[in-house]
Amino acid sequence: MSACNWVIATSLVFVTINKFLQYSTSYHASWMSKIIQHSVHKKSYDDYHKKLQERLELQEENTTISAQDNYAKWTKNNRKLEKLNEEIKALGIQLKSQQSSIEKQMKKFKLVTLTAPFIILKLWKGKFPVYYLPHSDMFPKIIGGVMSQGWLYLALLPLQILRGSSKVETQGEESMAIQVSVSLGIWLWALMTVISTVEFLINQLVFTKEVKKPVVIEEEKINIKAPNAIEEDKIALD
């Protein structure tokens, strides 16, 4: 596999994994629950659900028992329920703590295996030419410089202008005049922009519900006379 192929393939793998994790956010909680079930915390998880089932059975049994006819058993069940509630509450707190610990470990794992390597790849191969433009004069020199060197070229441009032309800049312009490439950093930025735009359009056109026009009810006009208004009545004088 050539250098160009493996750099692009690796970048696409990172983008795909990141998007998959973004789209599957709603399932992360259930996945975390499955991990806890099959992890070292399996015993706590089983005890929690066992006590929940036991509490449900006691509650159903109490509904069939009359407190007046069978007071002793009804009271005994209530005491068991109180104890079970305390144990379930303690186990719930323990499971939440364990889940929080696993989530932190998963975030660290994602940082080490996905986020950090992707950032390193972009910093290391950010100026790597993904492909070359057919003509060097397709875009102005500034845009060509950004496409070849990345956004850093635009940030350093005022400094280069203040310092004046140099041999390095002249050589850069000469090489740009020969061949202009699209760097990996700019290519990834353009790819993510296109994906985000498509996501937005699909969300607006497909998944967003149409907002119905509100029905405006005309209020009845009520004529109210002011309390101190003077009535224009004709008064007959005797």
Domain boundaries, the chain: 1-125, 128-208
More confident residue, 107 or 173: 107
Q: What is the pLDDT of residue 236?
A: 46
Give the amino acid at 11.
S
Residues of the chain with pLDDT > 90: what percent? 22
C-alpha 204/C-alpha 206 separation (Å) is 6
Q: Answer yes or no: is pLDDT of 235 > 50.
A: no
| Cβ(104)–Cβ(35) below 8 Å | no
Considering only 96-100, 138-142, 163-167, which range has the smallest mean pLDDT?
163-167
What H or E segment, with its residue span, contains residue 156?
A: helix 151-163
What distances in angstroms separate CA 53 from CA 30, 67, 74, 230, one per listed residue? 20, 23, 18, 78
Q: Is the pLDDT of residue 110 over 50?
A: yes
C-alpha distances in Å from residue 219, one per residue of 214, 216, 225: 15, 9, 18
Top CATH class of 1-125 equals mainly alpha
Instruction: Give 178-191 pLDDT, tens digit per residue.
Output: 678 899 999 999 99
Query: Residue 159 has what pLDDT?
Result: 79
Residue 235 or residue 192, greater confidence? 192
Q: Is the pLDDT of residue 175 over 60?
A: no
SS3 call for 64: coil
pLDDT of residue 164: 67
Tens digits of residue pLDDT in 14-69: 999 999 988 888 887 777 777 776 776 778 888 888 999 999 988 888 888 777 77
pLDDT at 178: 60
Biggest CA-to-CA distance, the chain: 119
Average pLDDT rounded to a whole number, residues 98-112: 87
* Res 144: pLDDT: 85
Q: Report the pLDDT value the prediction gives residue 40, as an integer from 0 to 100.
A: 60
pLDDT one-digit tens code per residue, 198-221: 999 998 888 777 767 676 665 555
pLDDT at 171: 44
Confidence of residue 168 (pLDDT cuts 50, 70, 90): very low
Q: What is the mean pLDDT of the chain?
A: 79
- What stretches of 64-150 show up as alpha helix (H) in DSSP? 71-110, 116-124, 141-149
Please indicate whether residue 175 or residue 99 has the higher confidence score (pLDDT): 99
